[in-house]
Amino acid sequence: MAESPMVVRAEFVREVKDSAYGVVEKPLTTAEKVWNNDAFRKGLLLAAMLVIWQLYAAWLNNPLLFPKFSDTFAAFYEGIKSGVLPQRGWSSVKVLVQGYGIGLALAALLTAFAITSRLGTDLLETLTAMFNPLPAIALLPLALLWFGLGNASLVFVIVHSVLWAVALNTHSGFLSVSQTLRMVGRNYGLSGLGYVTKILIPAAFPSILTGMKIGWAFAWRTLIAAELVFGVSSGSGGLGWFIYENKNQLDIPNVFAGLFSVIIIGLVVENLIFRQMEKITVRRWGMQS
Amino acid sequence: MNEGVVTPAQAPVPPLLEVRGVTLQYKTRDHLVTAAYRVDFDVYRSDRFVILGPSGCGKSTLLKAVGGYMKPVEGSMLLNGAEIGRPGADRVMVFQEFDQLLPWKTVKQNVAFALTSSGKLGAREAEARALHYIDKVNLTRFADSYPHTLSGGMKQRVAIARGMAMEPAILLMDEPFAALDALTRRKMQDELLQLWQDTRFTVMFVTHSIPEAVLLGNRILLLSPHPGQVKAELNSDGTDPVGADGKPLSARIHELLFAQTVEEENVPHG
């Protein structure tokens, strides 16, 4: 094969002037900014769904099966105004917070035991393998037998639904803390509780937060389902019981209003509390984008 | 850099770090690995002591042992006459990895946290000293930034500032510039030398780069691989001087490190 000749070019050095270029940075237009807003786009989707709901229900014209959005909203508004819905929601949330708190505390204990000893790790792994797949609702008959008809039974099943998810996530978060960060912590002479609270927990915070979110969702579902299936457990009863009652009275708009409340509380916790926690912790630290 | 030169015999103080006959072993899943075998060396105050060797010569393991992260199976390591038992704030490590800064703390908090959590200083003094050393590595503008917003070189500068702020007996650097691009590395090496001129801290520096060792070290320990054993200890003044045999220091080091492999390759097969 013939060798191709090298191309010889002249060298050049250029004077770079800083005036020739046009725009380096230009603010986005208002329309672009609005479209970039997550809440706006999601709100638009939501509005579209509501319109479809309203049109379909009007066309179906069967309020017993599928009430119109306007009827549901009216029932919801009535419920809020009369104070029934907030009161039912509050009694649900109260039980939930108790169960969630106890679940988190137990999960903390269990993972603390698991990271300090090998036997603890074995215990955690065995327990989560056994109980994590077990639906909390399946334990409710037993809980009613042990704790009677009352909030204690509900708290028990909520603890069960929170504990394993949180413990599992926290533990795997601790395991994945980088070796370098561990060595840095020990370099400062940290050990024991100081090492766990100042190094391990913040470093594992993304996983811990995920565990808490999953645990919360499990707990909320479990609570509503438990109320729905087994009915009233205390004097007033929560949102699940509200839905159940109204179904029995064929007051379907109120059933929808109850569901609506369940969704809204879920959204509020997810978007306000957890989103805010993420914003001031893991996102700010660049540990999650 | 020649001021105040003394020989060990005249030295008014004993070495800062004495390593005697140290053998290091660690376990992997299937093997017991001997990383270093009966290594001896002394580090004196204000030394820029470089450990140089090919990969697998146990240099990082040796540094970890000085850091107190692993115990030698034989031999002794004395820092100021006391046996090294566990990690402590008198030997601060600067790692190669960029994730050595705590991501949940700002640059200033990272440096100050090291000082407060090791119990060296109270919160206010810690902050003042942190700012002083952050200024020394030219990062004052970024004192309130979180590590994930910094470049790799800036992160390493924070780690160095943190190490120096602790004012340890000995600063341990484990290939701190290895993950940087060539231009940044060059700049960081000059900055490190400048910092040393200012405060004359004692540093142990692990590297596998001969030019880096020649530039940064005043004393270079050469290790042979598998397991690491002391091959030579050489002096350097940073200029890569031509020795009595007419070869520059870096060429001598190159020969010392690679002579063995050449011999092995020359052994006839079969």
B131-163: pLDDT as tens digits: 888 888 888 888 888 888 888 888 888 988 888
Domain ranges of chain A: 83-283
The first and second tokens of residue A4, run together, are 């191709």
- Pull the structure tokens for residue B99: 């994730």
Minimal Cβ distance to B102: which of A181, A281, A284: A181
pLDDT digits (tens, 9 = 90+) for A166-219: 999 999 998 888 888 888 888 888 877 888 888 888 899 989 999 999 999 889
Name the 3-class secondary structure at B164. helix
Tell which residue, B110, B250, B97, has the closest CA to residue B180.
Answer: B97
Contact B41, B221 (CB under 8 A): yes
Q: Which helix (H) or strand (E) holds B16?
A: none
For residue range B233-267, what is the model confidence (pLDDT) as tens digits? Answer: 888 887 777 877 777 888 888 877 777 554 555 54
Cα separation, A28 vs A227, in Å, equals 50
In Å, how far are A260, A282, B77, B110, B223 from A199, measured between CA atoms?
Answer: 41, 14, 28, 12, 35
C-alpha span between A69 and B206 (Å, rounded): 70
Whether the per-residue pLDDT at A146 is higher than 70: the answer is yes
Most A CBs within 10 A among B86, B117, B156, hence the mutation to make, goes to B117
Give the pLDDT of residue A1. 56
* Structural element, H or E, at residue B207: strand B203-207
Return the minimum-mean-pLDDT range out of A123-127, B76-80, B109-113, B249-253.
Answer: B249-253
Domains and CATH numbers, chain B: 17-263 (3.40.50.300)
Return the amino acid letter for A87.
Q
Q: Of the candidates B92, B97, B146, which has its C-beta nearest A180's C-beta?
A: B97
pLDDT one-digit tens code per residue, A215-259? 998 898 888 888 877 665 555 678 888 888 888 888 888 888 888
Provide the residue count of chain A: 289
Q: Looking at domain A83-283, what is its CATH homologous superfamily?
A: MetI-like (1.10.3720.10)
Is B99's CB within 8 Å of A181's CB?
A: yes
Per residue in B164-201, pLDDT (tens digit) is 888 888 989 988 888 878 888 888 888 888 888 888 88
Interface of B with A (CB under 8 A): 67, 69, 86-89, 91-93, 95, 97, 99-100, 102-104, 113-114, 117-119, 146-149
Q: Tens of pLDDT along A93-121?
A: 888 999 999 999 999 989 988 888 889 89
Instruction: Please identify which residue in the block is written with the tokens 């060798």.
Output: A3
Alpha carbon separation from B154 to B143, B146, B148, B188, B268 (Å, rounded): 11, 11, 10, 10, 50
CA distance B33 to chain A (A): 20
